[in-house]
Amino acid sequence: MKLLKSITLIATILFLNLQFVFSQSSSKFSVEKFIQDKDTLKYRLLYPDSDPMRKYPLIIFLHGSGERGSDNEAQLKWGVTNFATDQNMLLHAAVVIAPQCPDKTSWSNFTRAKNTAETRLEPTPTRTMELVIALIHQAIKTLPVDSNRIYITGLSMGGFGTYDAISRYPDLFAAAVPVCGGGDITKAPAIAHIPIWIVHGSDDPAVKPSYAIEMFEALTKAGARPGFTQYPEVGHFSWIGAYSDAAIIEWMFRQHK
C-alpha cells in the first residue's frame, strides 16, 4: 500500500511538473491573427529574444485534427512548445509560427483511398493552406526571417499538411519533418531536393505506417536521402518522440536552401 502511494505521488509530481513546463513554454507564444480578403487565420508566434539585426530560421508547425478550432490555444497542446524550452531557445533561436486550422477545414487537399499508393494531391490547395503560405510571405517581409531556412513540420493532419505544402511550394522550404502523415508518392520527384525526415509509429491505428514507408521508398527512388524513424510499439502519438528527439531537431536546424 505504501509503495502504491509512493508511485502515485511520484506520478502526480511528474504530471504537475510537465504541466508547469507546458504553461511556461506556451506563455512565450504571443496571440496573433492574419487577415486576407476577409478570411482570418489565427496563430501563435514565438519570437527569439536576441540580436534584432540577425536573421532567424522560421518554423511552421501544423497541428493535428483534434486541435482545430478558434480558441487560438489548442494548437499548443502537442509538440510545438518543445521549441520554446529554455534549452532549445538557447541552442536554436528561431521564429515559430503555429497557426490554428478552423473547424471543419484541413491543411491539405488530398484524395485518399484505402490503398495508400492511391493518395493524390488535388489541383487546388485548401483556403487554410493558402492563408498559411500568405502568412509565411508576410513573415519574410516583416520579421527577421532567413528565407533560406524555412522549415515545416506537422503531426497527423499536420503531417498530411506538411506533404501538401512542400508538394505545392517545393522552392519555399529548406526542410520538412512530417510526423504520422502521408502524401502523394507521385510527387516524390518534385520534392526530392528537399531534406525530409519522416517519423511514424509502427503500431499507428489512425494513419497506416505504410503511408510513411511508401513515401520513404518513393523519395529514395527519386534520388532523395530522406531520414526515416519508425518507433517500435508506438501508436499514433509518435510526435511525442519526434519533437523530443535531439537528433531530428539538430538535423533540421542544419538545413539550408
30-254 — its CATH code? 3.40.50.1820
Cα 231 to the chain's mean position, in Å? Answer: 17
Q: What is the pLDDT of residue 225?
A: 97
Q: What is the pLDDT of residue 39?
A: 96
Kindly give the residue spans of alpha helices, DSSP state H, lying in 143-237: 157-168, 188-191, 209-221
pLDDT tens, residue by residue, 188-215: 999 999 999 999 999 999 999 999 999 9
CA atoms of 247 and 257, how far apart (whole Å): 20
pLDDT tens, residue by residue, 67-117: 999 999 999 999 999 999 999 988 999 999 999 999 999 999 999 877 788
Q: Which residue has the cell 513540420?
A: 153
Q: What is the pLDDT of residue 80?
A: 97
Q: What is the pLDDT of residue 9?
A: 42
CA atoms of 162 and 177, how far apart (whole Å): 8
CA atoms of 26 and 81, how far apart (whole Å): 6
Is the pLDDT reported for residue 37 higher than 60? Answer: yes
